[in-house]
Amino acid sequence: PSPRRTDRRLLVQIVPFGGGQKMLISRDITQLEKLETMRQDFIANVSHELRTPLTVVSGFVETVADGLDDLPREDVERFLNLALEQSTRMQRLIEDLLTLSALETGAPAPHEERVDVGDLLRTIAQEAELLSNGRHAITLDLHDDARADILLGSQKELHSAFANLASNAVRYTPAGGSIALAWRSDDDGGEFSVTDDGIGIDARNISRLTERFFRVDKGRSRETGGTGLGLAIVKHIVSRHQAELCIDSAPGKGSRFAVRFPATRLTRRP
Ligand code: ADP
């Protein structure tokens, strides 16, 4: 368990120094211990997330190998496809882990690229359409004044953050629902938002959404191909761009995720 605010941990050492005297050194290791607990939790989570699909893959491969002579062809195909699905899931998890670790430890992002907001948002909308496969009504609202907006930042990172929010909206909104992508800007800065009328999130869970591996409903997240790392990645990217992530949601009604950029990150196409 992580230490409470009042629960400080001190490491006290007695160190001898010249003339038979001794010195008492005390170090506050509360934070260190907390980090160590987080590290252990993280490793346990990663191992669990990889072990589950790996067990499924070996199970199916073994079944196919054992029954190669008598299993009907359709069964072989079905088992192999299920095994493939699980390996794709593992690949996605490893990719997300690498992205997260690069964001946490890597050098500062190339934040001075000029990213055309209109182009980026049209790509995000097309990708959301593909993922939705006709199951949702997806709209893109690029305010007239904002069509020439340019964001100063990393094209790759901004794409990844916006795409993550849009794909969550698709994945957590039942078929028949609506998803609205929008961009607004004024003298104070710009805001990208994704609004859905999907399953929504309970107020007590909202503050935990950007924690690594936190999911409100593990089953649903996995079913729709989630790794539980998307919003942790979004949070890092957003803060690397001095932006802010704002989440409003109500269970059963829907959610709105917005990224607000300061005016210093915004310019216009001449
Ligand atoms: P995941 O891969 O599980 O989607 P994320 O980090 O992207 O991981 O999101 C964390 C959790 O936040 C999800 O598992 C889901 O419970 C919740 N969530 C994210 N976006 C939405 C949304 N638009 N509507 C409802 N719940 C959401």
- ipTM for the predicted complex comes to 0.99
Q: What number of other Cβ atoms are within 10 A of residue 136's Cβ?
A: 22
Question: Can you give the pLDDT of all 270 residues of the chain as single tens digits?
Answer: 555 556 788 888 888 888 888 888 888 888 888 888 888 988 999 999 999 899 999 999 999 999 888 889 999 999 999 999 999 999 999 999 999 988 888 666 666 899 999 999 999 999 999 999 999 999 999 877 677 899 999 999 999 999 999 999 999 999 999 999 999 999 899 999 999 999 999 999 999 999 999 999 888 888 888 899 999 999 999 999 999 999 999 999 999 999 999 999 999 877
Residue 100 CA to its chain's centroid (Å): 8
Atom index in ligand 1 nearest the CA of residue 228 equals: 8
The answer to whether 186 and 262 have CB atoms below 8 angstroms apart is: no
Q: Is the dihedral of CA 169, 172, 175, 178 positive or negative?
A: negative
Look up residue 41 and give its two tokens.
Answer: 């939790």
The CA distance from 231 to 221, in Å, is 12
> Quick one: DSSP state of residue 71?
S
The CA distance from 186 to 184, in Å, is 7
- Ligand 1 centroid to residue 137 C-alpha, Å: 20
- Ligand 1 centroid to residue 215 C-alpha, Å: 6
Q: Is the dihedral of CA 172, 173, 175, 180 positive or negative?
A: negative
Secondary element (H or E) of residue 135:
none
